[in-house]
Amino acid sequence: MRGPGRRECPRALPDDTLRPPDGPTVLVRGPSPGSPGRPLHRHLMDTVSMPLHLSDLLARTDLRLAVTYDVPPEQLARTIEAATVSDLPTPGKWLQGGELLMTIGLLLPMEPAACRAYVRDAAEGGAACLALGLGQGLPFQEAPEPLVRAAEEAGLPLLTVPDEVPFIAVTKAVFDARADEQRALLHRAFATQRRLTAAAAGDGLLPMLAEWTAATGVDAAVLDPLGRLLATSGPERRTLPAQARELLDRVAARGLRGSASSTAAGQQLEVQPLGARRLRGLLLLTGRPDDAARSVVPGLVALLSLELERRHLSDEPERRRRSALLSELLADEDPSADRARDMLRSVGLTAERVRAVVVEAAGTPGTRTANGAGAAGTGAAGGTADDAAREMAADLALAVPGGLVRVVDGATGPVVEAVVGEEPDVREVLARFAPRCPAGIGPATAPEAVRVSLRQAAGLLAVSRAAGEPAHARQSQASRLLLDLGDGSTLHGYADSVLGPLDLADHGEELIATLAAWLETGGAWDATSRRLGVHRHTVRNRLDKAMELTGRRLDDPDDRFDLWLATRIRRGGAPAAGPGGRPAPPPPGR
């Protein structure tokens, strides 16, 4: 028996948030993973979940549904998410979107304007279709013309349900179809998971990524924690989109604690962290997984994480060998240049100049202190300082070319020592794998003199503790340390005492700017005049005036250093860039 009814539910989110994409799922046969091109949905021919469309309901002869006007094909292709019954004059607020809304028209208005308002309310609520029940004892024996016209104008299909078909039969048909769809989704998910598990027994990451893309049509790539590509199922790009790089950096900075997604150039991007206790890599998905594929993502992450952990364990003998090689290199107090270079080349480190890096591991985030207090970190599950040092050493060995890393005992606990080439951005590596850990970076030297670089790097650990960032040995380090560690008021008082006479003079700012430019160019008159856009004679006249006011001499090394340091303090302490982007040292005396 038919009767009015309604669904008692709160107002839902907007229609486009809850409704899946319209249109059928199209499967394309493609080549196997080993052949050129992209394999699409290779395994899903017999497990496809087709959404229920309005045309499917009309094709059901047992329901005997009929359209009341010539409905366009795109409207017949609408997805039906549910079926509900309501005779309310304003049913829209009770809908979630995608419903087949059925009514016997008990309170249906017959005026054209009121019919348009009723249809508009249903459409704005998200109804995919209207259905009017007809029959003896019911208000209507056929669809009223005002309602038909209103539905056609609004682009909302209007069906009729004959007297012999109860509304519950239509509802049951819709929900049976949705249940079949969900079962098919689960079947697809289980089938994909089984194939991924079988691929995990293969050689490396690529079989799993290829199987994933073949089953879902979504490209996948695995990168190391620094964003370097390890394996991909799609086209290998030389550079990643900027938005993908931003997502990778964001997730890598959080370790195992979160994922991220966004849209770039119309493509859905998603990044998932990989690893068990520490971050071992990053999974980048390019595309929009459907519901079945989405349910398999955690399984893919788990299998890829296991593979990266397996690699980590299998690399342990090689890490031990390289650690022993580094100890052998550093134990020789006076190695020959050829022997030192040959030792480095044996591990693929061919740089002409190398530098040493020393990191204190006792304060590594994510480890536990001796009393068991945990610190927030980027993925370590806890352990001793020695465990943390070994994990950090393994990370650094993977991150830097050559992988010459070892763990030794330091004055305050375990210390990680590494030898790297001159080119890698050591600060970026330390920021990723040893955040907030005291670290010293030695100067670049010839391979046979790496012990000197190591000694200087170790000597900078105390400086790094005080500064809260890695300390880098370089020219003008003494003044840099003074600027970093000195009291601000004391430093500015020193600058005022040196430059005060210029502050009081006419055009004092001009004199100070000229003095600073001359000092930063190493006393080069032509370079200073070009930088300031004035004649070199003007530069000489200004500097002569400045020296007269300050009582200093440009040919006195101590005076020049005092002037250089004072101008640097005034400019905030940041060293000016010299040739090659290096900080400019204080100018030498004549």
pLDDT digits (tens, 9 = 90+) for 142-156: 999 999 999 999 999
**pLDDT of 374 strictly over 90:** no
**Which residues, in sequence order, are bridge partners of residue 577?**
583
- The larger pLDDT score, comparing residue 484 to residue 417, is at 417
Query: What CATH number belongs to 203-314?
Result: 3.30.450.30
Please state which of the four CATH numbers 1.10.10.2840, 3.50.50.60, 1.10.645.10, 1.10.10.10 is assigned to the domain occupying 484-581: 1.10.10.2840
Q: 235-290: per-residue pLDDT in tens? A: 766 677 788 888 898 898 888 888 998 887 778 999 999 998 888 999 999 988 88
Structure tokens at 475: 């020219």
DSSP annotation string for 414-476: EEEEEEEESSS-HHHHHHHHSTT--EEEPPPB-GGGHHHHHHHHHHTHHHHHHHTS-EE--TT
Instruction: Give the pLDDT band (50/70/90) at residue 487.
Output: low
**pLDDT value of residue 505:** 85
**pLDDT value of residue 481:** 54
Region 221-228 average pLDDT: 89
Is the domain spanning 15-176 CATH 3.90.960.10? The answer is no
**pLDDT value of residue 125:** 93
Region 442-464 average pLDDT: 84
Region 87-115 average pLDDT: 92
Region label for 482, one of left (φ > 0), alpha (ψ between -120 and 50) or beta (otherwise): alpha
465, 489, 491: which is closest to 480 by C-alpha?
Answer: 491
Out of 195-204, 222-231, 378-387, the most confident range is: 222-231
CB 477 within 8 A of CB 548: no
Instruction: Give the pLDDT band (50/70/90) at residue 384.
Output: confident
Q: What are the b/e assignments for 154-190, b being 16+ CB within 10 Å?
A: bebbbbbbeeebebeebbebbeebbeebeebbebbbe
Q: Quick count: other Cβ atoms within 10 Å of Cβ 560?
A: 21
Instruction: Give the pLDDT band (50/70/90) at residue 573.
Output: low
- Please state the domain extents for the chain: 15-176, 203-314, 316-473, 484-581
Query: What is the Cα–Cα distance from 62 to 370, expressed in whole angstroms?
Result: 74
How are strands ordered across the β-sheet holding 281-286? 229-232, 219-223, 281-286, 267-274, 260-264
Q: 578-590: per-residue pLDDT in tens? A: 433 333 444 444 3
Within its chain, how far is the Cα of 119 from the centroid? 45
381, 165, 398: which is closest to 277 by C-alpha?
Answer: 381
